[in-house]
Structure 1
Amino acid sequence: MKKFVLPLLILFMSGLYIFCIPENPTPLKVTFKLIPMVLIIIYAFQFCNTKAKPTQWIILSGLFICMLGDGLIAGSFIFGLAAFLVGHLFYLFGFIRVWKFSKPRFAMFILILGYSFLISNELVNAIAENGNSKLVIPVIAYVIVISLMAWSAIMTGNKWAIGGSILFVLSDSILSWNMFVSNVPQSSLLIMSTYYTAQFLIAHSLGSLLNNSSK
């Protein structure tokens, strides 16, 4: 039963933030937004014992940097975006270290590339129309990095990493579409529920990601 206590606490605090915490005051909102991520990092840390591998520490660092992004984005979209981009780079490098080549998984690059092109095209057009052209390059860079992150997770063959990365892409797709293209019904619920689930799955992947690997 003890092993379920922390996941249940993560679920409870995530639900509390999503459904109960008001938009204002902002410090209260940000504090409760960060609590589930702190718990997720603690959960991930359980898999990093005294003989933890570098890959585990790399991905754990990615979780921490994404948590910083959660706080920064409340004050500055660009700073928050930059933090998440760096976090995805850590995930990308971590997943690449345990890459397991497979032709079917390798071919998923085509689907990811197609999706990335379609959504980035819509975002860039919307951003340009709204007169925010300075955001075009950062957004394109972010789409490229998160797409590579998702592909690298798929190439690990680990179901938890794959599920987490795909949900992360979905969460950010909803967020960016809602922000730049058009309103998405229940956007906050969809964004945060997929986001917390994505981070939890990536954290959980540390328990099996390195099976039969010394990296």
Structure 2
Amino acid sequence: MVRKILLAFIILFGLYYIFFFSHIDQRVILIFKIIPMILIIIMAAIPKVQAIKKYQLLIVIGLVFCMIGDYTLQWFLIGLTSFLIGHIFYIFAFSSTNEQPVPTWAKVLLLLYGVMMAIWIASTVFKSGETILTFAVLAYIAIILTMGWTAIRTRSAFAIVGAILFIASDSYLAVNKFVMPLPFSHEVIMLTYYSAQILIALSIVQYSEIRSKVVQ
């Protein structure tokens, strides 16, 4: 019941920030941006899942770093670094599971996508003379695709779809920021981002159920 109430408030505040962004006072806009993340962190932390306590802890830490990234993205490299750390904790969480192997087709798709994004986005950043940012972008692409790769191992649909949505959100953001302006960038980026974080948080309970079935 508590999870459903939290989820309702996450959706309410998330949609308000996404679609009424232009009406929010600039002095408090970042507060409204992180309110859904604070609620998502609480939702992820409250389930009592003793069998997968490590998984839960790592996911919660990852969510906290992503929330910090939300606030510090105004200083892009700092925010990018915080998100990168958050993804590393997600990778640790997903890697701690071993419910199913990653299919070859998924590996190939992720690798091809990573190479395509690296060539398209990193080369554009490099041409602008931003060498440090270029390496940061390359590192981020590698980390987020590894996060997607390891999410498949959990066998949790929430973790897998959440990871895919996160990759989609960051891809749209990167293209919009470095290559060309995209339509409805704020709405698309934040809708896929909040959805990804909600699903990753909900994967805690789903993975706990998967583990319970395995034990039985």
TM-score by length of 2: 0.91
Match of 2:16 in 1: 16
Kept in 2: contact 1:158–1:209 (CA 8 A) = yes
Deviation at 1:18? 1.0
SS of equivalent residue, structure 1 residue 212:
helix
Deviation at 1:2? 5.5
In 2, the alpha carbon distance for the partners of 1:10 and 1:33 equals 11
In 1, the alpha carbon distance for the partners of 2:39 and 2:92 equals 23
In 1, the alpha carbon distance for the partners of 2:114 and 2:59 equals 23
Which range is displaced more, 118-127 or 174-183? 118-127
Instruction: Summarize the Cα distance change of 1:163–1:133 in structure 2 as closer, same or farther, 3 Å threshold.
Output: same
Structure 2, unmatched stretches of 5+, are none
Question: Which amino acid counterpart does residue 84 of structure 1 have in structure 2?
Answer: F
SS of equivalent residue, structure 1 residue 100:
coil
Which range is displaced more, 177-186 or 20-29? 20-29
In 1, the alpha carbon distance for the partners of 2:178 and 2:59 equals 30
Q: How many pairs were matched up?
A: 212
Which range is displaced more, 144-153 or 49-58? 49-58
Structure 1, unmatched stretches of 5+, are none
1:59-74 matches, cutoff 5 A? 59-74=59-74
TM-score by length of 1: 0.91
Instruction: Summarize the Cα distance change of 1:3–1:133 in structure 2 as closer, same or farther, 3 Å threshold.
Output: closer
In 2, the alpha carbon distance for the partners of 1:22 and 1:98 equals 42
By percentage of residues, which structure has more helix?
2
Match of 1:164 in 2: 162
Match of 2:185 in 1: 187
Kept in 2: contact 1:41–1:63 (CA 8 A) = yes
**CA deviations over 1:69-126 (Å, ceiling 9, x no partner):** 111112x1000000000000000010000122336x3541111000011011100121
In 1, the alpha carbon distance for the partners of 2:54 and 2:186 equals 35
SS of equivalent residue, structure 2 residue 22:
coil
Match of 2:84 in 1: 85
